Chain A
Amino acid sequence: MRIPVESIHLPNGLHVVLSEDHTAPIVAVNLWYHVGSANERLERTGFAHLFEHMLFQGSANVAANEHFELVQRAGGTLNGSTWLDRTNYYETLPSNQLALALWLEADRMGRMLPGLTQQKLDTQRDVVKNERRWSVDNQPYGTWWEKLPALCFPDHHPFHHSLIGSMEHLSEASLDDVADFFRTYYTPDNAVLTVAGDFERADALFWIETYFGPIARGGPRPPLRDMSVPPTFGTTLREVVRDAVALPRCFVICRTPVFGSDGYYAASLAAAVLGLRTGCRLEQSLVRRQRVASQATAFTYDLAKGSDLLVVDATAHPEVSPARLEAAVLAELDAMHQHGVTEAEVTRARALIETSFVTGLQTAAERADQLSRFATYFGDATLANDQVARYRQTSAADVSALARERLGPDNRAILLYVPAEEPAVVDDAIPVEATA
């Protein structure tokens, strides 16, 4: 299953990707800016994400809240998201509204600052603080997604600090910060624009050149701080978090090869053998046979810089102690580290990943997002079409080798959530079993 891909570079550096598909009169526009929380100054954590909110607040020719209204009035859906090393903005619309979507994206890429006011910044700052309260502070386990990178990347590493940011840093963000960030990172030469779905090539190119062509290339960008980390932690790191939670929950994280590398596909398959759907080891062993976990999954973070992370996430069965849960998870990692995986396990994992990949391609938004991802990280959108083949080329022996190198006790970070009222007893002799 291959999707059509054409890449064009405008003179101002904008990387344009086109993927025509006339199945339904729907078109997706998807912009990735190669900037995320990794680019923030350490005294402005959360700023990349706050900035994303500001980009919906209007521009020279778009009033406050009009961006949302115009897309919805056109019959479209839209949103944006901020990640460690990229920020994306996307809309899916009836195909006769493509020009409007391109014009809106170009107006904010080229002319955001005339629309900026202190009041808009103050409002979005409070909205983001409420987003933080909602997703982190008032959620059981809600801190896991800032504690996990903090544990796995050293102080001052660009991935170490919180993406949603601290309340103090959000309070300090100024209009000057917004303007500087915009001028530095929101430039055509730091972006990928993908259009996928029902459009005529000549029309799309005309609108893209008309709207985006005049936007000036950006100046030099400050280089990212050093991303490199050793391939393993060199030890087992461990952090215990007492929280208002009902059941213990254990994350175990291993450093793994970056997204897109050969080793990444082995790590992705290892995660699937461990923790994808029902036939995986964690579900069969921890949830079903041993009944120490009420849920257990594993996944990769898909980081394309520095190091990727393979994450095991298991929540205890009622009455099971944190220590017993942790021991059971580690026993499964030990088993895979020492004995590798079977051909059948990898076949199962590959089959599930392949179906989910092909199923995902049914939406224009997903096709556009995949193309933008590969164009942003590797400069080559056509790599999106190689994903199934890359998984097929990865053998059970490759997965076993990855497990031998990366899943051992010298490469684990443990993040253990413990109910606040749980007695602080450490069981040090816990009988364990694991997948043979």
Chain B
Amino acid sequence: MSESGLSVPLPGSPARPGAGAARPYHFPHFVTRILSNGLRLVIARMPAYPVVTTLAVVEAGATRDPRDVEGLAQLVTRALLEGTRDMNALELASRLEMLGTTLDTGADWDSAIVQLTALSSRVDDAFAVLAEVLRYPSFPENELARLRAERLADLQQLRAEPRGLSDVYFSRLLYKRASRFARLAGGDEASAPRITREAVVAYHAEYYRPDATALMIIGDIDVEHAVRLATTHFGEWAGKAPPVTEPLDEQRFNEPRVHLVHKADAPQSEVRVGHVAIPRLHDDYFPVVVMNAILGGLFSSRLNLNLREVHAYTYGAHSAFDWRRAASPFEISTAVETAVTANALREINVEFTRIREEPVSEAELSLAISYLVGVFPIRFETTAEVAGGLANVEIFRLPTDYFATYRDRVSAVTAQDVLRVAQTHLDPSRLQVVVVGDATAIEASIAALELGAVTIYDPADADVDPALDVSSSSN
């Protein structure tokens, strides 16, 4: 797909320059300390700009939600901002914002985070507030009622939004119905109203414990100062969290299927194609990352060049792994003009098949490797980026030399490795296709591709399953 550069420049033009000598780069040096209560500290000094990011990672992600009370973990992270033992929500926000900072909180599947970035001159005061929020939230019922209502508003918006809708259907249909992953991380219309204040308080008391928490302190601050802050505000924190149990992560359908979510008159089809793949911590991680870069991770990837630059079906086509500690989704995503939906699916299938059948070219391999190696320092320019990277080491239990060896591990990947992992970890025999679009316009041409049994859904239905059970019983 890629063309080589012209070897002879146009007369009068200067020749294309090569690279100069690379200047050395080292991921910021970090130290890890463990307080006697089990709290882990990860500290890195980045003195170039007068800012400090503090990022707490707690083993309190959505996989810990009780069955039928999905959304609890995420609601807890939002409710942390609604007040502490001696500040109501407005006082808390004002206190932080007068310091020029704000707390960002959230939960994904594997963990909850509480994060702030402050000018280094204000780090002591800002850190003290972060500690209060983590340890002594008040969870006022009145604010919880508002947060539950806002979740329902989000869900209403999601139903009207093709991009979000395709993500929702893809993730809900991918895993077995009994899996936590088959329900929305943030909860749905049935579960959100069940999140009581008692459940919120109990969840916080059980899981927000020092031995389940890691604290990244990154930026214009020295190590002893950071340790002193953590010891002062978290040294007396006590208690132990129960061990994490990973959720069921098996795929629901073990045959290829097509799921069409009908949106009348949609000018585009939102397309998701994929299946359950490998967990984040896996021996094949690096070859898999290189394989994905070639298939759909880069602008110059096969999928984007084919669907965008050759066929002009789309503004962009990508592939990615939605990494979790459990087996994670592999997903190709694009949005294409309605009339060419089947053509686009055919081309996606071509690329998905091709990368499993023949080795990638040397040019493709070297492009992916040199890109991943080269952008590595660019991914970690800011204190927040370094904190996020170190948080991933904690969340996914990566080795401590992960960043030190990253570029060597990427560089070692061969075309044979790429072929092997594509054959091992991409699986056409259970590929799921989700399309949000005008089913009346696209159903026949998609069915003709014979990508699997086709089921049609109405996004107005609260539960994706009743329609599925009706149609699949007739298939």
Q: Across the two chains, which residue of chain A brings its CB closest to B143?
A: A288
Task: Determine if B213 is an interface residue (Cβ-Cβ < 8 Å).
Answer: no
- Given known A61-B6, A65-B300, contact A291–B149 (CB-CB < 8 A): yes
**Which residues of chain A from 255 to 308 have any CB-CB distance to chain B below 8 Å in the complex?**
277-279, 284, 287-288, 291, 294
Task: Determine if B470 is an interface residue (Cβ-Cβ < 8 Å).
Answer: no
Contact mask for chain B residues 15-32; partner A; CB cutoff 8 A; 1 contact, 0 none: 011111111110000000
Task: Determine if B246 is an interface residue (Cβ-Cβ < 8 Å).
Answer: no
Stretch at the interface among A136-144, A151-159, A372-380: A136-144
Task: Determine if A147 is an interface residue (Cβ-Cβ < 8 Å).
Answer: no
Task: Determine if A68 is an interface residue (Cβ-Cβ < 8 Å).
Answer: yes
Q: Across the two chains, which residue of chain B brings its CB closest to A348?
A: B97
Q: Are A25 and B375 in contact (CB under 8 A)?
A: no
Tell me the minimal C-beta distance from A102 to chain B in angstroms: 8
Q: Are A60 and B13 in contact (CB under 8 A)?
A: yes
Q: Which of A25, A76, A111 contacts B13 (CB 8 A)?
A: A111
Stretch at the interface among A5-13, A122-130, A233-241, A330-338: A122-130
Q: Are A96 and B22 in contact (CB under 8 A)?
A: yes
How many A-B pairs with Cβ below 8 Å?
240
Q: Which of B51, B98, B143, B149 contacts A358 (CB 8 A)?
A: B51
Interface of A is mostly: helix
Task: Determine if A355 is an interface residue (Cβ-Cβ < 8 Å).
Answer: yes
Q: Which of B93, B159, B300 contacts A278 (CB 8 A)?
A: B93
Tell me the minimal C-beta distance from B89 to chain A in angstroms: 7
How far, in angstroms, from A279 to B93 measured CA to CA in the complex? Answer: 6
How far, in angstroms, from A201 to B383 measured CA to CA in the complex? Answer: 27
Task: Determine if B309 is an interface residue (Cβ-Cβ < 8 Å).
Answer: yes
Task: Determine if B206 is an interface residue (Cβ-Cβ < 8 Å).
Answer: no
How far, in angstroms, from A111 to B10 measured CA to CA in the complex? Answer: 9
Stretch at the interface among B61-69, B99-107, B387-395: B99-107
Q: Are A352 and B309 in contact (CB under 8 A)?
A: no
Contact mask for chain A residues 10-35; partner B; CB cutoff 8 A; 1 contact, 0 none: 00000000000101111000000000
Task: Determine if A227 is an interface residue (Cβ-Cβ < 8 Å).
Answer: no
B377 proximity list for chain A (CB < 8 A)? 24-26, 94
Task: Determine if B446 is an interface residue (Cβ-Cβ < 8 Å).
Answer: no
- Given known A63-B5, A69-B367, A351-B99, contact A131–B13 (CB-CB < 8 A): no
Cβ-closest 3 pairs across A and B: A75-B374, A126-B312, A351-B100
- Jot down 25 A-B pairs with beta carbons below 8 A, ordered by A: A1-B49, A25-B23, A26-B378, A61-B6, A61-B16, A63-B5, A63-B6, A72-B367, A74-B19, A75-B371, A75-B376, A76-B378, A77-B375, A77-B378, A96-B21, A127-B314, A135-B315, A245-B160, A246-B156, A278-B93, A278-B102, A279-B93, A284-B90, A318-B156, A351-B97
Q: Which of A's residues lie within 8 Å of B, judged by CB?
A: 1, 21, 23-26, 60-66, 68-70, 72-77, 92-100, 103, 106-107, 110-111, 114, 122-131, 133-135, 137-140, 198, 207, 210-211, 214, 244-247, 277-279, 284, 287-288, 291, 294, 315, 317-318, 344, 347-348, 351-352, 354-355, 358-359, 361-364
